[in-house]
Amino acid sequence: MPPVSAEVKTSPLQKANFCSRLFVWWLNPLFKIGHKRKLEPDDMYSVLPEDHSQRLGEELQGYWDQEVKRAQKDTQEPSLMKAIVKCYWKSYLIWGMFTFLEVKDFHTVHCFLVYVPQY
């Protein structure tokens, strides 16, 4: 997909520190724009190099080829789900753990706010 305008904004995620990445603070400027007005295509950031569909597609294709070979050897149908899980399990596991901790902490704080008697 070609860029909407000649000037494409670089993603702040490229320079974001650990805390900014963990709590998604790097998106705050975009949220502020979206709060003031409707977002337009020119407001969007460029895609990170590691997230380009060409690279991700080639990586998944490699795992799919391995799955097809395995299925032929075992005389089974190849499973796209297995190929996807083998390809992306690490990133989903890591971000899933962070999301779990964040949600758990949110619910813990919420319980204290709701159930602690008010004086």
Running along the chain, 119 residues long, what does each successive block of 10 average in pLDDT?
A: 63 87 86 94 87 88 95 93 91 82 72 62
Residue 69 shares a structural domain with residue 114: yes
Residue span of the structural domain in which 87 resides: 53-118
Residue 7 shares a structural domain with residue 39: yes
- Domains in the chain, number: 2
Residue 47 shares a structural domain with residue 57: no
Output the pLDDT for position 72: 94
Residue 102 shares a structural domain with residue 84: yes
Residue 92 shares a structural domain with residue 58: yes
Q: Please, what is the Cα angle at 59 between 46 and 74, to 5 degrees?
A: 155
Q: Report the 3 state secondary structure along 51-90.
A: HCHHHHHHHHHHHHHHHHHHHHHCCCCCCHHHHHHHHHHH
Output the pLDDT for position 19: 85
Residue 37 shares a structural domain with residue 47: yes
Residue 100 shares a structural domain with residue 70: yes
Residue 59 shares a structural domain with residue 47: no
* Integer Cα distance of 22 and 55 in angstroms: 24
The pTM (predicted TM-score) of the whole model is 0.54
Output the pLDDT for position 86: 93
